[in-house]
Structures are given as C-alpha cells and as structure tokens.
C-alpha cells in the first residue's frame, strides 16, 4: 500500500491525473470504475480542461463503482456528475461508457450490471477484474456504496449488490468488496479535514477502524494507493 500526499485537493487531482495518464498510455485498453461524490469533480475538471488531448480516450472504458438509483438526469446521479465535469468536455467513444441504469428497478439492475461487467472484463480468481478502481471514502468510513451498516456487502458473492444509504434510504448499486479487491489497482482519492479522523483510525488500526468498510479495501494481488491532501492525512 502506498500513500501520495499533496498540499491541496487540486494538487491531489494533479498527482492522480499524472498517474491515470501514465496508466492509459501503458494499457491498450483500460477498464476503470469511477467513484461518485464531490471529490472526483476536481479531477474530472482537470482531466477535461488540461489533459483532454493527453489521453487516447478510445482506450478507456468507463464503469462506476457505485451509482445512485436515480435517472441519469438527476442531480444525484454519479453518471450525470461525470457528464457535467468530464464527458461533456472531451472527445471519446460513447460506447466506452458503461453506466449503471439508475432508472431501472434496483435488484434487476444489480444483476444486469453484474452481467455486463462479467461479459466485458477479463476474469481472475473467478471474478471480473478491473484494471483500475477509483474510490472515495465517506465521513463514516464507507466506500463505493458499502456503508458501515451493510458491511457484509464486502463479502457478498455477487459482482454487484443493492445498497441503502443509512440516512436517506436511497437505493444504490455498488460493486461488492470481493470484486473491488480483485482489481489490478485501486486508488483512493480522499481530501479534507472531515476525513482526518477516519484516515487516522484506518491507518493506525485504532478506534472503530474495524467498522469502516474502507478499512477492508486491499487488493489481493493488485496495487493500492491512497491519494490524499494534507488535511485528510494530517494525523499520519
């Protein structure tokens, strides 16, 4: 496991963007599962505005590590956020975007998306293997849409599962822990003082670390890097 600590969220995005560009150049095709939330917006804006031509986007296939069960036009949609901050600003083959159908019935969509991922990606240890999974971490230690109250989704046998947001009750589709940990590479992007305590507990295996799903993200054979700003990493 590696850490890459930068001064500011913008610098974190720049550090990760450099890594992502190198990965895209080194791989004929790159299957990447994106995270949602607010942190990736800085990265997507940066990629779109400064690296739109640095990457042969036809090599990159976009999936999501989790998606809210809402229509693609909904302000909560991780897909819509990615369109607004990245896809609307770069030239890429539309067929390379494999979105979760947030507008569909959740249980059916979890099965459909799992089948799409399984059909499209190579398999390792009997599970689909992403080249790269980008993850965020919530203030409660969740990652993707595996929340502490549903930590069992780390060990689900399926590729995808239906999750429930603990406060809003919003249904989500999430990759399960086994598929996440089957990736060739996992990169966390975590910024802000709101994440300091959880990062401290996870890295020092202290406090309530065992109840945080993010604590269990560690690719079996792949590479794990935490890209953080100084605020999130200030207790390391």
Residue of 9, 102, 128, 138 that binds ligand 6PG (CB under 6 A): 138
Residue 222, interface with ligand 6PG (CB under 6 A)? no
- What minimum distance in Å lies between the beta carbon of 179 and ligand 6PG? 15
Q: List the interface residues with ligand 6PG, window 22-81 (CB under 6 A).
A: 35-39, 66, 78
Token look-up 């207790």 returns 235
Please say which residue, 143 or 181, places its beta carbon nearer to ligand 6PG.
143
Residue 158, interface with ligand 6PG (CB under 6 A)? no
Q: CA-to-CA distance for 25 and 18, rounded, in angstroms?
A: 11
Q: Bridge-partner residues for 164, per DSSP?
A: 171
Token look-up 């090599």 returns 59
Please say which residue, 24 or 175, places its beta carbon nearer to ligand 6PG.
175
What track of x and - describes contact with ligand 6PG for positions 74 through 113 (by CB under 6 A)? Answer: ----x-----------------------------------
Q: CA-to-CA distance for 26 and 170, rounded, in angstroms?
A: 38
Please say which residue, 106 or 136, places its beta carbon nearer to ligand 6PG.
136
Residue nearest ligand 6PG, Cβ-based: 136
DSSP label at 51?
S
Q: How far is CA 23 from the centre of its chain?
A: 16
Please say which residue, 124 or 231, places its beta carbon nearer to ligand 6PG.
231
How do strand 132-135 and strand 127-128 relate by DSSP bridges? unpaired
Contacts of 120 (CB under 8 A, 6+ apart): 31, 61, 98, 128
Helices (H) and strands (E) in the chain, counts: 6, 11
- What minimum distance in Å lies between the beta carbon of 35 and ligand 6PG? 4
Structure tokens belonging to residue 149 = 């109250």
- What minimum distance in Å lies between the beta carbon of 119 and ligand 6PG? 23
Residue 144, interface with ligand 6PG (CB under 6 A)? yes
- What minimum distance in Å lies between the beta carbon of 91 and ligand 6PG? 26
Phi first, then psi: give them for residue 131, nearest 5 degrees: -70, -40
Please say which residue, 124 or 148, places its beta carbon nearer to ligand 6PG.
148
Q: Give yes or no for a contact between 65 and 174, defined as CB atoms under 8 angstroms apart.
A: yes
Token look-up 């939330």 returns 37
Note the residues at the interface with ligand 6PG (CB under 6 A). Answer: 35-39, 66, 78, 136-138, 142-145
């Amino acid at each position: 496991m590696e850490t890459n600590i930068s001064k500011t969220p913008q610098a974190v995005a720049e550090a990760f963007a450099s890594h992502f560009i190198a990965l895209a150049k080194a791989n004929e095709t790159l299957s990447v599962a994106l995270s949602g939330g607010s942190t990736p917006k800085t990265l997507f804006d940066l990629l779109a505005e400064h690296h739109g031509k640095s990457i042969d986007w036809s090599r990159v296939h976009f999936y999501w590590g989790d998606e809210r069960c809402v229509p693609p036009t909904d302000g909560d949609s991780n897909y819509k956020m990615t369109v607004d901050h990245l896809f609307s600003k770069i030239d890429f083959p539309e067929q390379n975007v494999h979105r979760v159908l947030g507008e569909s019935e959740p249980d059916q969509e979890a099965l459909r998306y799992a089948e799409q991922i399984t059909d499209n990606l190579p398999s390792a240890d009997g599970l689909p293997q992403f080249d790269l999974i980008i993850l965020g971490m919530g203030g409660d230690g969740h990652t993707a849409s595996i929340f502490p109250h549903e930590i069992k989704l780390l060990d689900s046998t399926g590729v995808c599962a239906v999750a429930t947001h603990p406060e809003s009750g919003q249904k989500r589709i999430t990759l399960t822990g086994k598929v996440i940990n089957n990736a060739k590479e996992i990169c966390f992007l975590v910024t802000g003082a709101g994440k300091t305590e959880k990062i401290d507990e996870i890295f020092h295996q202290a406090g309530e670390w065992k109840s945080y799903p993010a604590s269990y993200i560690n690719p079996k054979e792949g590479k794990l890097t935490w890209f953080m700003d100084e605020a999130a990493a200030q207790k390391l």
